[in-house]
Amino acid sequence: QVQLVESGGGLVQAGGSLRLSCAASGRTRSSMGWFRQAPGKEREFVATISWSTGVTYYADSVKGRFTISRDNTKNTVYLQMNSLKPEDTAVYYCVASLDCYGDGCPSTRYQYWGQGTQVTVSS
Residue 71's pLDDT band, with cuts at 50, 70 and 90, is very high
- pLDDT cut 90: percent of the chain above it: 92
Alpha-carbon Rg for the chain in angstroms: 13
Query: Strand 90-97 vs strand 112-113: parallel, antiparallel, or unpaired?
Result: antiparallel
- What is the maximal distance between C-alpha atoms in the chain? 41
Q: Could you read off the pLDDT of 13-42 as tens digits, one per residue?
A: 999 999 999 999 988 889 999 999 999 999
Determine the 3-state secondary structure of 110 from DSSP: coil
- The CA distance from 5 to 8, in Å, is 10
CB of 11 within 8 A of CB of 103? no
| Chain centre to alpha carbon of residue 108 | 15
